[in-house]
Structure 1
Amino acid sequence: MSKLSLPKDRIKILLLENVHSNAVEYLDRQGYANVTHLSTALSGDALKDALADTHILGIRSRTRVTVDALAAAEKLIAIGCFSIGTDQVDLQAAKIQGIPVFNAPYSNTRSVAELVLGEIICLFRGTFAKAWAAHDGGWEKTAEGSHEVRGKTLGIVGYGHIGSQLSVLAEALGMHVVYYDIVEKLAIGNAAALPSLDAVLETADVVSLHVPSSPLTKDMIGARELGLMKPGSFLVNAARGNVVDIDALANALRTDHLAGAAVDVFPKEPKGGNDVFESPLRGLRNVILTPHVGGSTMEAQANIGTEVAEKLVKYSDNGSTTGAVNFVEVSLPSQENVSRFMHIHKNVPGVLSAINDIFSSRRINIAGEYLRTDSDIGYVVVDVDQEIEAGMGIRKALAAIPGTVRTRFLL
């Protein structure tokens, strides 16, 4: 072991918001025993105090990692978002500080697809309105307006992991599937790609959205798009809250242009369980409202716990940044009979040359070298074929290179 490496049992890991126990168990199996596992979120000074001596942070969706919080996290080397999204972290600030952020973009795929399919069935059958009436003492026993989904056309906007899995499940029920994606995607089963979003909206009996949050998708479904949909059709949004103009959707429902909708994500969501949920969709009995629970199953949370913990361990153990959402991605081989160090720096000229000079001047042979850069930072990983001793002055020399953000040594 390099004399400059930090042993695993001294790497402090803080997991907040009741991250699934799978993460704790995986970390423990990999030799990371110094783990604090809290059921609550932290904020303000409490979060800054906790981050002062934390090396790895794990959060879900309620902890906000801001520029201010990161300024107090001098030892932090990585953040794991045990969730699909990463909006809770200032990604740019973390990158500039040399902190990669990891998430679990696919672990809840099945859970979301199942919820959407269940909601589609409920919309076509009108079960939500009937259930509401029954709770009020009514008894709407009628077949009027109630339909099977077999033979109906499902339009999927965004044919990625969730959209394509929904496609398979819907076809198993006898639905026809059409889809649109800005990237050409190979159809699964009998699904058919259409040339535009408008074509999907005009064709489908029910449209389900599965796109990321971006400037391109903000309010992509507005009054014009809703007007293109078939009269009496349905809309499902389990993607991102800012994808749909909620006021326009409410109007389309109140005027009976759409027969119903199911919405799991909203432009503005309560920060906690005690906050009041406000939406123009409240009170509409043909709308299924769910509190952002598309991926909230025990199975999904277990998968997320394992997936993110694996990424954090891989980065901590060997420096690989594969899967980081804010950082250059470097996939590294396992180390064998080498000492490895990582150097994160501002993307300025001369850094790699300076790094090589430090080793060549000490007659240390470089066995492997990996470099990736983006517009802001550079990430160099170097393997040397001898043990690095503290007295060599390498850490001090590397830190003195102009533009250095942080350095770290491994086994």
Structure 2
Amino acid sequence: MARALLLENPHTNADPVLAAAGVEVVRHPGAMDEDELIRALDGVDILGIRSTTHVTERVLAAHPQLLTIGAFCIGTNQIDLRAAARRGVAVFNAPFSNTRSVVELALAEIIALTRRLTVRDKALHDGVWDKSAAGSHEVRGRTVGIVGYGNIGTQLSVVAEALGLRVVFYDVAEKLALGNARRMSSLTELLNVADIVTLHVDGRAGNAGMFGREQFEQMKHGAIFLNLSRGFLVDYAMLREKILDGSLAGAAVDVFPTEPKRTGDPFDSELRGLPNVILTPHVGGSTQEAQENIGLFVSGKLTKYLKSGATDLSVNLPRLSLPPSDAARYRIAFVHRNTPGVLALVNQTFAEYGANIDGQILGTLGEIGYVVTDIGSELPREAVEAVRQMEDTLRLRVMIRPNPED
């Protein structure tokens, strides 16, 4: 029986999906550091994490039996994807499941900051009646600048426009503008015109530190700033300075460079206690609806890979899905270095040992190749071992498929 270790409390609806595929599920409520994770992965085939646990090359090297990793979130920068691919470990995430939740939080914070609701709320909690329109604005007619026009950025664009906001966006990739949104030619151009700047970029290493003194000083005086993306993107000490000197009217931050491992752990940040600043504990996608969707989506991808070798929507292996064949008796999932002639050599090896190929699909992604092959005859052990011993083999897995004639 395969074994799955789920960390950081992904939704429990993942458990029956895994169990139905014959997987034993073990849960641990918090994140783990590198040494803890290495100890915990003994005998584990499937690892499920969220955003805090880091899966490093050292972790992967210590556990060659690990088959696949599910990130029950959008981001995968906490996983060494290249090292995983080189070991034939497929990684899946949930790129769409919590998009709406993040968008709704961003919109709620844009309205709250623009109306200075945080300031009014604090005054009343302190026992002070502070009824004033000073600094309070409607969002209608203001310009929101979206940095990163992916799944979240595009949906935010549509909903923000429906609220009467003007939308501009900047993305390093060529993206189609939705509705009346306007693409800016540079980040500087966006910062110069936006009343609200919100970051929705991915966690690639090149984005680290992308927003610092230079970018804050290019923003309009009195603008507001949101980061619901990645904590390491922003110089928060500089954000603090710009809030305190009045250059920025407010900010909302959901992600931090270092985050506690478990609920209830202490938290500190230079942004604590600042006026008109909303701090949330990485809950952009933490709604019941989003977590339910993520639990089902990621567990479904993990079990499909376990049972059939399908890698559709994998973030680090070629995306393949070979339709089932009633005539196939075995399915072979073969991850290899993307070297010319590998497929021909594999097929020649099967032929030499009398194995009949019933169906096959190949894909490549950078330095990695992936082949799924259905065998409609008996599969000699010698053929499998010959392929396993090939110089370019990274991982080979044989799945026994039922014979419809039995």
Q: Which TM-score applies when normalising by structure 1?
A: 0.89
Residue aligning to 2:276: 286
- Deviation readout 1:351-384 (Å, 9 max, x if unpaired): 4343223211123222333333445433222222
**1:239-254 equivalences in 2 (<5 Å):** 239-254=229-244
The aligned residue for residue 92 of structure 1 is 82
Q: State the match for 2:5 in structure 1.
A: 14
3-state DSSP of counterpart to 1:342? strand
Per the TM alignment, residue 342 of structure 1 is displaced from its structure 2 partner at its CA by 1.5
Q: 1:40 to 1:234 in 2, by over 3 A?
A: closer
> Is 1:322 equivalent to 2:312 in the alignment?
yes
1:401 to 373, 390, 395: 390
State the distance in 2 between where 1:149 and 1:316 align: 48
Amino acid in the other structure paired with 1:294: G
Q: Could you tell me which residue of structure 2 aligns to residue 147 of structure 1?
A: 137
Q: How far 1:39 moved relative to its partner?
A: 3.4
Question: Given the alignment, which residue of 358, 375, 380 partners 2:371?
Answer: 380
Cross-structure match for 1:257: 247
Aligned twin of 2:222:
232
Deviation at 1:227, TM superposition (A): 1.8
Distance 1:268 1:21, change over 3 A: closer
1:262-319 CA deviation, whole Å, 9 max, x = no partner? 1111223333345443322222112111111111111111111111112112212221
Residue 45 (structure 1) shift: 6.2
In structure 2, relative to structure 1, the CA distance for the partners of 1:82 and 1:367 (3 Å cut) is same
In 2, the alpha carbon distance for the partners of 1:228 and 1:405 equals 48
> 1:113 aligns to what SS in structure 2?
helix
Percentage identity across paired residues of the two chains? 49
- Counterpart Cα distance in 1 of 2:177 and 2:368: 38
- Following superposition of structure 1 onto structure 2, how do residues 93-172 of structure 1 map, counting pairs within 5 Å? 93-172=83-162
Which secondary structure state, in structure 2, belongs to the residue aligned with residue 34 of structure 1?
strand
Task: Determine whether 1:74 maps to 2:67.
Answer: no
Name the residue aligned to 1:205: 195
> What is the alpha-carbon distance in structure 2 between the residues aligned to residue 41 and residue 110 of structure 1?
25
> Partner residue of 1:277?
267
Supply the AA of the counterpart residue of 1:209: L
Q: Closer, same or farther in 2 for the Cα pair 1:242/1:39, shift >3 Å?
A: closer
Aligned 8 A contact 1:52 1:74 in 2: no
Given the two structures, how large is their TM-score scaled by the length of structure 2? 0.90
CA distance in 2, matches of 1:134, 1:387: 77
Structure 1: give runs of 5+ residues left out of the alignment.
1-9
| CA–CA separation in structure 2 for the residues paired with 1:171 and 1:374 | 37
Q: Give per-residue Cα distances to partners, 1:174-220, cap 9 Å, x unaligned.
A: 22222222223222222222322222211121111111123443333
* Alpha carbons 2:311, 2:317 under 8 Å: kept: yes
- Which residue in the other structure is 2:181 paired with? 191
Q: What secondary structure, in the 3-state scheme, does the structure 2 residue paired with 1:396 have?
A: helix
CA distance in 2, matches of 1:248, 1:54: 43
Q: Is the 8 A contact 1:111 1:296 kept in 2?
A: yes
Q: How far, CA to CA, are the matches of 2:316 and 2:46 in structure 1?
A: 16
Task: Quote how far apart the aligned CAs of 1:33 are.
Answer: 4.8
Q: 1:63 to 1:214 in 2, by over 3 A?
A: closer
Aligned pair count? 399
- Residue equivalent to 1:364: 355
Whether the 8 Å CA contact 1:52–1:72 is kept in 2: the answer is: no
Maintained 8 Å contact 1:354/1:401 = no
**Matching residue's letter, 1:189:** G
Deviates more, 1:180-189 or 1:147-156: 180-189
Report the Cα offset of residue 118 of structure 1: 0.5
Give how far 1:110 is off: 0.5
Deviation at 1:109, TM superposition (A): 0.5
Contact 1:366 1:382 (8 Å CA) reproduced: yes
Are the aligned partners of 1:346 and 1:405 in contact in 2 as well (CA < 8 Å)? yes
Q: Distance in 2 between matches of 1:297 and 1:88?
A: 22
